[in-house]
Structures are given as structure tokens and as C-alpha cells.
């Protein structure tokens, strides 16, 4: 059985199994990728979240709305595991529901750019297509704190300093 998720976003309700855009500990090679995503994805590819900034956190990053770009990966859930994956990611990201006061992140729908092939025509900065995806952005209280005293991550790319072999 496939779970269909319905939520309200600016512009109306969404009822779809949207892909997920990840930019921190869920990236390939990071520890939460294997813990939460191994065997649960049918596809992963590089992607960019426009109109966002990336801030350093306590072992993981936060993305917020802003005038920048965040680099990450677009994940498509494997057949039959969408509901399970959504629940796991909501738990990991401490998302309790839209606007909940104890949220660490808000799960929102955003347009994500998929890089095009070299030389292929596409909108701005060589981007190929654009797709709607779930993105976990810092909740309102966290965003306020980041804007006043957070450490911005240059270029919108989060790394832990690990080598590709995980060491």
C-alpha cells in the first residue's frame, strides 16, 4: 500500500509522493544516509535549492529562506516505502506538524533545481529542470536565532570534513 500525503502549502493543498531534498547528514556518505535511506530510495541525484541560505548547527546544518543557493541531493522514495520514509525523516528532523511550537524544522514544499547536462539549455546558472520537493527548513525560532548570531556556510555546501570512505 502506498501512502498519499496531503498537506497545505502556499498556493493550496498538495497530495503527492513528492521527492525529498536533503542537504546535511542525509547526504550520500554522511552517517544518516545509511541509517535512514539505505534501501528506501529509488533514485538520488544532485540538486540545488534556490532562494535559501545554509547555516552551521550542532553537528548538522539548517537551511533558511534567503538570497543564496543550497546544494544537496534529491531523493525519490523506493516503491512501497514512502509513508515509512516520510515518518522516519519527520522524526529525525523533529517535525511535529506544520507550525508546531516544538518543531526544529518545518517540512515545506519548494522548487528544487536539477542541474542540466553541460551545455544544455536551462533556466539560470545552467540548471536543467525544476521539480517540487519536500525540504526541511529551520523552524521560525531557530531561523530568528540563526539570522542574529548564526554561522553562515559559504557557497551553501555542508561538509563534515569526512573523506569519501567515511573516515
Which grid cell sits at 34? 545509511
Active site residues: 93
Instruction: Please report, to the nearest 10 degrees, the dihedral formed by the alpha carbons of residues 152, 155, 156, 162 taken in order.
Output: -90
Tell me, what DSSP letter sits at residue 90? H
19 vs 77: CA distance, rounded Å: 7
73 vs 133: CA distance, rounded Å: 11
80 vs 95: CA distance, rounded Å: 22
Q: How many CB atoms lie within 10 A of CB 107?
A: 21
Amino acid at each position: 500500500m502506498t501512502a498519499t500525503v496531503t498537506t497545505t502549502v502556499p498556493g493550496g493543498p498538495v497530495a503527492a509522493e513528492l521527492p525529498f531534498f536533503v542537504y546535511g547528514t542525509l547526504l550520500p556518505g554522511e552517517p544518516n544516509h545509511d541509517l535512514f535511506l539505505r534501501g528506501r530510495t529509488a533514485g538520488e541525484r544532485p540538486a540545488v535549492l534556490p532562494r535559501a541560505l545554509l547555516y552551521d548547527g550542532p553537528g548538522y546544518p539548517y537551511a533558511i529562506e534567503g538570497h543564496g543557493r543550497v546544494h544537496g541531493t534529491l531523493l525519490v522514495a523506493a516503491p512501497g516505502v514512502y509513508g515509512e520514509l516520510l515518518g522516519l525523516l519527520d522524526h529525525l528532523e523533529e517535525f511535529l506538524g506544520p507550525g508546531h511550537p516544538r518543531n526544529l524544522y518545518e517540512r515545506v514544499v519548494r522548487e528544487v533545481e536539477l542541474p542540466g547536462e553541460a551545455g544544455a539549455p536551462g533556466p539560470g546558472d545552467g540548471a536543467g529542470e525544476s521539480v517540487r520537493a519536500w525540504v526541511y527548513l529551520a523552524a521560525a525560532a531557530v531561523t530568528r536565532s540563526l539570522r542574529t548570531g548564526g554561522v553562515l556556510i559559504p557557497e551553501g555546501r555542508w561538509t563534515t570534513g569526512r573523506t569519501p570512505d567515511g573516515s
